[in-house]
């Protein structure tokens, strides 16, 4: 009879580094991250590499090999790097998790060893899930290779794979050991993947930093046109705001229902699913931001001028604000799926102004449908004006 109450506190620390050419032997960042991690050197490593990165960076596996040989007193490759498919397909087939776990097991990694995951957000999610569950947690070093993974997913504390037709249904909260953002990987991204990650920067600016939103407006065309200096600045500030939220919001493992970092994401996840993942996560997020901003405006919370700024910035950085699937009968199911995922009552983040979010617990279906219609009208107007021969 009776009960025992106990509080367990645990602090997580991890660093996010910014560099170029991480696997160039003279680059000390990875070596130092590992050397600082333990007294028992060399540490064993298993590398998981995104096939899309492998194809575009022909010498990468050799470079990883050379890097480890050059720093053999600190890190040792315990198995040849494992190449896995890039993109959403890797998250939708659980055999890839088993494959990674098999390599970790065969290589005899312990909880002081490292999985180094090199790739886009999807590969980082799968490798992160495998690392978090092998031995109940092997150290994970993420080397994100897309804009989205560098400014958002790769610096956070979550991993996951898709199951039962639902995105990220299986996964854990597991902070990485370290993150190394290597800008030189970004040069080989497709234009779509370059631009997709800008939507997470727009999101975090809208919920946290009006001045950063101004930066994005001023640099919209440089960002859309692959200016690396502007992109480096954007990624750094976005990652910093993301990390500040995780560290200071008081809810890093999302135990409550408020999710400002998921602004625009209920519709994004549903659109990704409805398009069979043809839509990139970042493209879905852009449309989701447009939708929830338009709802905020039509419901009388967001001033028209702020709404206009958002609706101008998204296309200016090359992001969509509409997809035909927004009209699907199924779209609004995304709200109940989001509620089920959060637990508790539905909590959707909306805007009062650029930089000022708030939570709401009920969505008016009529206003949501009007928001979708307004986005459709605007996208038609934008498409028509883009076809005008004299458009400046
Ligand atoms: N864990 C989280 O907190 C979190 C947060 C946001 C998003 N995500 C997830 O991230 C995923 C999206 O990630 P993403 O936008 O990085 O795209 P992605 O991982 O789907 O990759 C897109 C494509 O780019 C290729 N690629 C990756 N790096 C490349 C490079 N440097 N050069 C050429 N091609 C390259 C990949 O092979 C793939 O074909 C989604 O599954 C999403 O759910 C996770
Ligand atoms: Zn996202």
* CB of 52 shorter than 6 A to ligand 1: yes
Q: What pLDDT score does 256 carry?
A: 80
- Is the CB of 53 inside a 6 Å radius of any atom of ligand 1? yes
CB within 8 Å of 327: residues ≥ 6 apart: 372, 376
Q: Which residue has the tokens 């996560």?
A: 281
Which ligand is nearest to the Cα of residue 262, counting in written order?
A: 2
Q: Is any atom of ligand 1 closer than 6 Å to the C-beta of 87?
A: yes
Give tens-digit pLDDT for 112-122: 999 999 999 99
Q: Which atom of ligand 1 lies closest to the CA of 57?
A: 32
Query: 168-209: per-residue pLDDT in tens?
Result: 999 999 999 999 999 999 999 999 999 999 999 999 999 999
Q: Is the CB of 152 under 6 A from ligand 1?
A: yes
Three-class DSSP category at 264: coil
pLDDT digits (tens, 9 = 90+) for 53-95: 999 999 999 999 999 999 999 999 999 999 999 999 999 999 9
Q: Which ligand is nearest to the CA of 196?
A: 1
DSSP for 130-198 reads: HHHHGGG--EEEEEE-SHHHHHTGGGSSB--EEETTEEEEE--B---SEEEEEGGGGGG--HHHHHHTH
The pTM (predicted TM-score) of the whole model is: 0.95
What spatial distance separates the first Cα and last Cα of the chain, rounded to whole Å? Answer: 78
Q: What average pLDDT does this structure show over 352-369?
A: 94
**What is the residue with the minimal CA distance to atom 20 of ligand 1?**
87
Backbone φ and ψ for 262, nearest 5 degrees, come out as: -100, 20
Which has the higher per-residue pLDDT, 253 or 319?
319
Taking the CA of residue 147 as reference, the ligand 1 atom at the shortest distance is 16
Distance 87 CA to ligand 1 centre (A): 6
Q: Select from 20, 193, 235 the residue to mutate for testing ligand 1; criterion: most ligand atoms less than 8 Å from CB.
A: 193
């Amino acid at each position: 009879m009776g009960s025992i109450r106990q509080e367990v506190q645990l602090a997580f620390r991890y660093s996010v580094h910014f560099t170029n050419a991480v696997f160039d032997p003279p680059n000390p960042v990875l070596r130092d991250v590992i050397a600082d991690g333990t007294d028992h050197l060399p540490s064993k490593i298993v590398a998981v590499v995104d096939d899309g990165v492998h194809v575009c960076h022909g010498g990468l596996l050799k470079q990883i090999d050379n890097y480890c040989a050059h720093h053999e007193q600190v890190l040792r490759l315990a198995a040849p790097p494992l190449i896995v498919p890039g993109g959403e397909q890797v998250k939708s087939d659980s055999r890839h998790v088993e494959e990674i776990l098999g390599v970790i097991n065969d290589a005899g990694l312990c909880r002081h060893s490292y999985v180094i995951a090199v790739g886009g957000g999807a590969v980082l999610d799968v490798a992160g899930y495998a690392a978090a569950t092998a031995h109940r947690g092997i150290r994970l070093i993420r080397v994100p290779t897309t804009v989205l993974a560098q400014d958002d997913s790769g610096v956070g504390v979550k991993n996951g794979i898709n199951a039962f037709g639902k995105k990220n249904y299986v996964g854990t909260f597991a902070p990485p050991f370290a993150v190394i953002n290597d800008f030189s990987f970004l040069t080989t991204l497709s234009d779509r993947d370059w631009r997709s990650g800008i939507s997470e920067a727009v999101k975090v600016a809208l919920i946290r930093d009006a001045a950063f939103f101004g930066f994005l407006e001023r640099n919209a065309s440089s960002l859309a046109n692959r200016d690396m200096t502007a992109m480096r600045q954007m990624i750094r500030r976005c990652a910093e705001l993301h990390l500040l939220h995780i560290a200071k919001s008081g809810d890093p493992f999302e135990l409550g229902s408020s999710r400002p970092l998921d602004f625009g994401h209920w519709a994004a996840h549903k659109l990704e699913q409805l398009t069979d993942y043809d839509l990139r996560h970042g493209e879905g997020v852009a449309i989701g931001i447009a939708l929830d901003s338009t709802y905020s405006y039509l419901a009388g919370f967001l001033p028209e001028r702020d709404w206009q700024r958002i609706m101008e910035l998204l296309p200016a950085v090359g992001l969509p604000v509409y997809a035909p699937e927004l009209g699907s009968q199924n779209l609004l199911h995304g709200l109940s799926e989001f509620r089920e995922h959060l637990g508790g009552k539905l909590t959707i983040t909306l805007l009062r102004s650029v930089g000022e979010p708030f939570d709401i617990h009920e969505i008016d279906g009529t206003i949501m449908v009007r928001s979708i219609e307004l986005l459709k009208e605007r996208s038609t107007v934008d498409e028509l004006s883009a076809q005008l021969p004299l458009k400046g």
